[in-house]
Each structure stands twice: as C-alpha cells, then as structure tokens.
Amino acid sequence: MTCLKTCCALLFAATLLPALADDMVNMPDMPAHHHPVDNAPAVLPGDSVFQVPAPLTDQGGQPFNPAHAAPPATLFTVFYGDCQYACPIIVENLKQTVAALSTTERSRLRVVMISLNPGIDTPEKLAQLAQKNALAPGLFSLVVAKDDADTRLWAAALGVKYRRATNGDINHSTRLVITNRAGVPVADNSTLAPRPDPDFMQALHTALQ
C-alpha cells in the first residue's frame, strides 16, 4: 500500500510540475512599481545629510525619512509658512526649476522643503501651503521637525543660518542644496531670485542623469 501511494505521488508530480513550469514561463511581467526598491546605500557616507538625527514629518502627517527610496537627486531648502519676503521667492524659484526639467528628470527628483517654524507649521498647515502653491505631492515634500533643536540640526547640515525676531519673524539665509542618492551634497546655491541660477540648473541636470 505504501509503495502504491509513493508511485501515485511521483506520477502526480511528474504530471503537474511541467504544467506549472509552463505557467511560470508564460506569466506576464509585473510592472516595476509593484516591487519598490530602496536604492539608498546600506551604509551612508559620513558627509550624508541623511544622517541628521532629527525625525521629520511631512504634510500628510507621516514620518518622512529622506533616505528611504531616495531618488538620484534630492533638492533641499528651508522656509516657513508665515514668511512674507524670501520664502515666496524661494517657492517660485523651485517651481520654475521643476518646470525647466524634462518629465524623466522630474521622475528622478525629490524636492524637500524643511520648515524653520515647528509648532506653528503643522502638517495641516504645510498641506494647505502645498495646495495653495500648487506643489505636486509626489514631487514636493513639505516637512517639519518636532522642535527647534532638531530644526537647527537640519539647518546646520544644509549650511543655513537663522534667528527668531521678537515679532515672530524668522530671519534666515537662502540655501538650495542638491544631494545625490546617498544624501551627499553635490551642488548648492544661495542666490535669492525667482528665476533659477543657470549654473545651478546645469548641476541639477547633471545630478539627474
């Protein structure tokens, strides 16, 4: 009886396995987006800004880790929601910068805008700012740290200086920083202008290749 069961099992396997093999060969390829891959290096370089030990939260209220699924290039800057002078110019610069890129280049870029005003710039307020300025959520991440101490860690990593005025304004330097997939800065610009700097744009094109 045992021998009969064994023979039947072997016969079943011999019949079924070729059919399964054929099905596997004929299966359609799954789209690449069904299998997201985090291409960030396992060990980040010492000069990577991704190593800043200060958690961020995005405009959707979700934890934001710039190292996770990092694209070939990330464009960092700082701002705050109630800013009436420099920040609107920075936002316009970023929008023109993105508009000057090809569709393929935009798909390889992430723009990260870090608020200098934690506690005031809540995720809800950041979402409103993103919508008001027509900043595409898949491309622009408006983020905020939990407190001023963590915010200053990010500011220092990006070479930004700022101080709070008694009236609530925040005086800050202008800084755009391009990092590669590992979070290492490859180019920066400190010019406050609505139109992108040509040299900086060329550096961005190169980073997105």
Summarize pLDDT for 109-160 with one digit per residue, the tens: 999 999 999 999 999 999 999 999 999 989 999 999 999 999 999 999 999 9
H or E stretch covering 66: none
> Is a pLDDT exceeding 50 seen at residue 190?
yes
Q: Are 36 and 68 in contact (CB under 8 A)?
A: no
Q: How far apart are CA 182 and CA 171, in angstroms?
A: 30
Q: Which residues are annotated as a binding site for Cu cation?
A: 83, 87, 172
Q: Are 130 and 142 in contact (CB under 8 A)?
A: yes
- Ramachandran region of residue 106, left (φ > 0), alpha (ψ -120 to 50) or beta? alpha
Amino acid at position 121, single letter: D
Q: How far apart are CA 204 and CA 25, in angstroms?
A: 42
CATH of 54-207, one of 3.40.30.10, 1.25.40.10, 1.10.3720.10, 2.30.40.10: 3.40.30.10
Q: Give me 182's structure tokens.
A: 């590992």
Q: How far apart are CA 54 and CA 114, in angstroms?
A: 12
Domain ranges within the chain, ordered by starting residue: 54-207
Model pLDDT for residues 61-93, shown as the tens digit of each residue: 999 999 999 999 999 999 999 999 999 999 999
Q: Which residues are annotated as a binding site?
A: 83, 87, 172
pTM: predicted TM-score of the whole model, two decimal places: 0.80
Q: How far apart are CA 87 and CA 98, in angstroms?
A: 16
